[in-house]
Chains A and B, each alone.
Chain A
Amino acid sequence: MVLTVTLNPAIDKLLILKRFSIHKLHRLESSEKSIISAGGKGVNIAINLHRFNDEVIATGFASGHSGHLLCDELRRVGVTTSFIFTEGLTRTNISILDQENETLTEINDYGHHVSLPDQEFFLENYERLLYRVKTVVLAGSLPIGVSEDIYRKMILMARERKKKVIIHTSPQHLDPIIDSSPQIIVPDMRSYHQMLGNPCDGIEQFLHVGKEVLVKNKESELIIFIHRIENVVAISRSACYILRPENLTIRNMLGYADSYVAGFLHAGKNSLSMLDTLIYASAAGLTNVESLHKELVDPEHIEKNLNRIKVEEIK
């Protein structure tokens, strides 16, 4: 059983348009689409994991009618929910996919304020949930009023109970808590190209920062920079790899990283070697970006894509 934590979840509204232009009224045609779904990194990972028939509990903060919509949607697909409801309204994130120009415009709301008593209530609930699971995924941004320290507390609580922790968030939230040594670190580099005070973009810098993280944190096992699907860089204590998909045709990057993390968790559950796990995760990400949907629609297709992932080992 996996526990996914999404402290700042969202309702995702995806508009798939033929063309998108500013200063223009768009009326959707029958060939265009408007899709509303439960979102936020941990929520997306939970939904993807359930596509693999893996058992998942999703937790985090939710509020108001959009919070109930979020939980209803998770349960509809089969995920167990244990969110803490607070005053306010769960945010809505809007993505506009322009098919003709192949552009994706994303507007993410900042979310609602979460009080300290609600954070304490959440941590009590989280502690109990740890007894039910083997792996914890901490993913995404933080709502207003919540500091990075909550991630540190959750990592330490999980590690104390011998649970595996995967954290997937931006360096802005990772840097302050990296010393709590989560086992697997997947930085979200979409908005920040710095980590631990170093510039961090491109293979050389990913390798440099990844090695520094492992030197400083004795319990961390693996750091994976997945931002550029063309060159996924994985740094472990025994080896460094670059994984590249062949003949990549991107249709929709939305949800790529969450599919990657879900693929990684699913492969790990099946006791694959570290390299095979990384290949499976890259194939899951590849399968996702070549489909229009933000979640994995056809997990069986991942197997067919495994041989399209080419691996380079860096000595």
Chain B
Amino acid sequence: MRLVRDYMHKDITSVNEDSTLGQVIRVMKLHRLGAVPIVDKQGHCIGYITARDVLKIAIPDYIKSIYNTSFMANMDQVTNHLKGMLNEKAVRFLDGEYVFLNPTDTMSYAADLLNRQKRTILPVIEDQQQVGWITKIDIISMALDPEEENNDKHD
């Protein structure tokens, strides 16, 4: 049985409750991460903030109300709106309903959850602490693993 713990990306980059939106964007950029856990002082996960969440914040409400924004000549409305919020605490914009995996979950379950949740990345949590990530690439690239191919033949 292929388990999440054997395939997860073992990175535990996180930000804390006092981190600002600006710090979160910087972490996403420098760490090349699409999602960052926000943790308390003991390292327990409070929730996750994703690039999608930040983009939602970035687009002002008046633009959201317009069906087609293709007439916008540049990104000024979006970046200026976001610039004004860079010093706000990221914890304000948490995705409180973020789902996660356990290290002992199967990769089949991970694939199903990623698909149902329409995510590209899911955190792996053990004892309330982040231990890694699973991405869609981790799941589809299992098909390239020659050892797994042999195992499947035996099955």
**A85-B14 in contact (CB<8A):** no
Is B12's beta carbon under 8 Å from chain A? Answer: yes
A82 partner, pick from B13, B30, B32, beta carbons under 8 A: B13
Q: Report B5-54 residues with CB < 8 Å from chain A CB.
A: 9-14, 16, 23, 27, 30-32, 39, 41-43
List chain B residues, Cβ under 8 A from A81. Answer: 10-13
Q: Please indicate the chain B residues that have their CB under 8 angstroms from the CB of A131 in the complex.
A: 42-43
CB contacts (< 8 Å) of A124 on chain B: these are 16
* A257 CB–B CB distance under 8 Å: no
- Contacts A80-B132, A127-B41, A128-B43 hold; do A75 and B27 have CB atoms under 8 A apart? no
CB of A120, distance to nearest CB on chain B (Å): 11
Chain B residues lying within 8 Å of A68, measured Cβ to Cβ, are 32
Q: Residue of A at shortest CB range from B13? A: A82
Question: Within the assembled complex, what's the spacing in Å between the Cα atoms of A218 and B30?
Answer: 42
A79 and B12 CA atoms in complex are apart in Å by 11
Asked if A129 is an interface residue, CB under 8 A from chain B, the answer is yes
A-B contact count (CB 8 A): 43
**What A residues does B43 contact at CB under 8 A?**
128-129, 131-132
Q: Is the CB of B9 within 8 A of A82?
A: no
Query: Which A residues lie within 8 Å of B11 (CB)?
Result: 71, 75, 80-82
Known: A85-B27, A85-B31, A86-B30. A128 touches B14 (CB 8 A): yes
Chain B residue at smallest Cβ distance from A76: B10
Question: What chain B residues lie within 8 Å of A87 (beta carbons)?
Answer: 30
Pair B10/A132 contact, Cβ less than 8 Å: no
Q: Does any Cβ of B come within 8 Å of A125's Cβ?
A: yes
User: For chain B residues 46-100, which have a beta carbon within 8 Å of chain A?
Assistant: none
**Shortest CB distance A90–B (Å):** 12
Q: List 16 A-B contacts (CB under 8 A).
A: A71-B11, A75-B9, A75-B11, A79-B10, A81-B13, A82-B14, A83-B13, A85-B30, A85-B31, A86-B30, A121-B23, A127-B41, A128-B41, A128-B43, A129-B43, A132-B129
Q: B-side interface residues toward A, CB under 8 Å?
A: 9-14, 16, 23, 27, 30-32, 39, 41-43, 129, 131-132
